[in-house]
Each structure stands twice: as structure tokens, then as C-alpha cells.
Amino acid sequence: MNSDIETFTVDTVDPGDRIDRWQEVLSTTHVPQTVHPLGNAYPRPFRASLRRRRVDDIAVIDARSDEFRGRRTHRDISARTSNYVELTIPLHGRMAVGIDDKTIIAPGAMLLSRHDRPSQYEMLERVRLRTVLIPQAALGFAAGTLSAPPTRVFMKAEPSVRLLISHIAALQAVPTPLSGSAAAAARNAVLELLVGAVRSQVADASTTALAALRCSIECWIDTRLTAGVPDQQVTAAAAAAAHSVSVRTLHRAFADGETFGFVVRSRRIERAKRDLVGEPTATIQSIAIRWGFADASHFCRAFKGVYGETPSDYRIAASAGFSNS
């Protein structure tokens, strides 16, 4: 099977039909699934595009999209004739995966999951993801290593993971289709590097524990902020106590990416941004106070530092159906 490249977009479809079209695209390029908007409405028409490269019997997919949520059921799984293993590499933005206990995946991490289990996920903001689909049968020789748990989180800082991600990026950057022999060699390298990364993680329990701890703490942050817990209670000390670890261990879990404080600040700004559009009559001051900012001016400086425009400018642009963010 040779290498070939396909592109998909919803931008040419009527705005009211774009989510349905995106569901068709993802069900074709990944596995059958159901897709819905995240939240009540978008400040502008939903945007999404995808580029798929087939390399022998695997596929490397780059996707960009606005927020949405997806679900794969037993019925969806039964519609497929083959089971796949999926690598998800966030390049920009965050996603949450899981049916009950959600895990936050962001740049700096990589998710390995299997398509033979029901699942749910949410794109929490505009995202850019790179995914690799691998037939589970192709990894039969490593079935014992990959069988449990059905999902694994890897940190990008791990040498074996860096090698894998770099190889996939180089493969996706080749502008022309690969010949049969080159495609097979590239495909085999992906499999070997993946198995090496998994076995390295299994052998390094401490790294695995820190990755799991970080994901759990990020979920804790999201839960507290959504529940309206005062900002002074969403601290590193409180998070460490809730997870029965020391503050030093907490900071070790965040050493390879965004700091704990940066994560909390980013989440607050993101929620305030949603309220600017979702509550058009609320004052900027009230939104700022709600999400833990000292006052409107503090919030405006933080917001502009992230999005390049003031909250007022963003709200005006969003109400007109577009925004620079």
C-alpha cells in the first residue's frame, strides 16, 4: 500500500451543517462516532480541517478545529471491521478524554488509546492535533505490553517519546507521496518507536506516576474553578494536599510543561472568555471578579497578553460573528 495524502474541510459547507459534516469526516478518517457542539453556541461559524496521510497500513492525521465534543459507543465500535490503536499528540490547545474521570491532554503530553472501547472526548478550546492510527493487529507482537490499561499518557520530555514524535513530524512534513518501500520502512519505524516508548514507560514507574499525577491535578483545577471555588483556595498547597503528595512532588509533575500557576491562570482566562460571549449583558468587572481577577484592569491586561485584544474588543468582534483570537 503506497503513501497518499487527502485533505478535508468544513469551511465550504453551510454554517448550520458544519458539525454534521465534521462528524462525517471524523467517522471516515478515524472511527464511527457522534459529534456535537461544545456549549450552546459559537461566536462564529464552526471551523475545522484535516489532512490525512496514509503510510502503508497506518494513517497520520493533522486536524484543526474549534471546540466540540465526541463520543464512540459500542454500536460505533461494532461498525468497524478492524480495531485500531490511536496516538494523539496535541500541538495546540487542550482536550479532555474519559467517560467518568476525565484526563486533560495538552501540548507536552501524548495519549495512546484503543478503539475497541467506548470513549468520550472534548476539545476544550481551538485545537491542533496530530494523530496516528495503527491497526491493532500490526502490534500483535507487543499485545502483552499494550493490552492494559486501554489508555496511557506519555510525557513528551521522555527521550523515547521525543524520538517517536520527531519521526512522525518528519514523516508528515514530506511534501510528496512515499514509494512502497519507503512507506513500509517509515511505517515500521513508527511501530518500533511506539513499542519502545511503551516499554520504557512500563519500566519507569516514577515517570508514569508523575504523568498521572499531573493529569489528575489538572482535572482537580478544572473541577474547582467550574464549581466557583474562590481563587485563593485553588493553590499548589491545596492541590498537593488533595492528592496526598508534597508541594515539591506537585511541582515535579509540572516540571516538563506549564507550571501549576500558569495552568490555573490560563483556565481562569479561558472561562472568562467564554462568559464574555455567553453572557453579553454581564459587565467585564463582574466577569473578572467571578474568575478570580482583582479587578477589570487586571483581567484586561491578562486577557490581552494571551489573545492580543482587550475583552471589550473580543466581545464586539464575537457579537459580529468573528474574532481575531
Shared-domain flag, residues 105 and 212: no
Shared-domain flag, residues 226 and 104: no
The residue count of the chain comes to: 325
Q: Which regions of 73-160 does DSSP assign to beta strands (E)?
A: 84-92, 95-97, 103-105, 109-114, 119-123, 127-135, 151-155
**Which of helix, strand or coil describes residue 275?**
helix
pLDDT of amino acid 255: 81
CB 113 within 8 A of CB 119: yes
Q: Percentage of the chain surpassing pLDDT 70? A: 85
Q: Mean pLDDT throughout 168-184? A: 85
Which one is predicted more confidently, 68 or 257? 68
Q: How confident is the model at residue 273 (pLDDT cuts 50, 70, 90)?
A: confident
Is the model's pLDDT at 1 over the cut of 90? Answer: no
Shared-domain flag, residues 125 and 240: no
CB atoms < 10 A from the CB of 66, how many?
A: 22
pLDDT of amino acid 320: 60
pLDDT of amino acid 291: 87
Give the residue numbers spanning the domain of 11. 4-203
Please provide residue 217's backbone torsions phi and psi, each rounded to the nearest 5 degrees: -70, -40
Distance between CA 206 and CA 2 in Å, rounded?
A: 40
Shared-domain flag, residues 248 and 304: yes
**Domain end (from 172, 203, 234):** 203
282, part of any domain: yes
Q: How confident is the model at residue 145 (pLDDT cuts 50, 70, 90)?
A: very low
Shared-domain flag, residues 195 and 215: no
Cis peptide before 159 (omega within 30 of 0): no
Shared-domain flag, residues 194 and 215: no
8, part of any domain: yes
**Domain end (from 203, 236, 258):** 203
- Find the helix packing angle between 260-278 and 311-319, rounded to 10°: 40
- Find the helix packing angle between 296-307 and 260-278, rounded to 10°: 100
pLDDT of amino acid 43: 67
Shared-domain flag, residues 234 and 270: yes
324, part of any domain: no
Q: How confident is the model at residue 290 (pLDDT cuts 50, 70, 90)?
A: confident
pLDDT of amino acid 294: 84
**Which of helix, strand or coil describes residue 9?**
strand
**Domain end (from 203, 221, 239):** 203
13, part of any domain: yes
Rg of the Cα atoms in the chain:
21
Distance between CA 101 and CA 219 in Å, rounded?
A: 8
Q: Please report, for the domain that includes residue 290, its CATH number.
A: 1.10.10.60
Residues 6 or more apart from 256 whose CB is under 8 A from it? 108, 155, 156, 157
Shared-domain flag, residues 178 and 264: no
325, part of any domain: no
Shared-domain flag, residues 109 and 61: yes
89, part of any domain: yes
Distance between CA 30 and CA 48 in Å, rounded?
A: 15
Q: Please report, for the domain that includes residue 26, its CATH number.
A: 2.60.120.10
Number of domains forming the structure of the chain = 2
197, part of any domain: yes
Which one is predicted more confidently, 245 or 278? 245
pLDDT of amino acid 315: 85
261, part of any domain: yes
In tens, the pLDDT along 31-66 reads 899 999 987 656 678 999 999 999 888 999 999 999
Q: Mean pLDDT throughout 121-142? A: 82
pLDDT of amino acid 33: 93
Distance between CA 161 and CA 184 in Å, rounded?
A: 21
**Which of helix, strand or coil describes residue 30?**
coil
Q: Mean pLDDT throughout 7-28? A: 95
Shared-domain flag, residues 15 and 134: yes
**For the ranges 7-16, 63-72, 291-300, which has the lowest average pLDDT?**
291-300
Q: Is 98 exposed, middle or buried (0-12, 13-18, 19+ CB in 10 A)?
A: middle
Shared-domain flag, residues 193 and 215: no
174 secondary structure, DSSP code: -
Shared-domain flag, residues 256 and 280: yes
Q: How confident is the model at residue 207 (pLDDT cuts 50, 70, 90)?
A: low
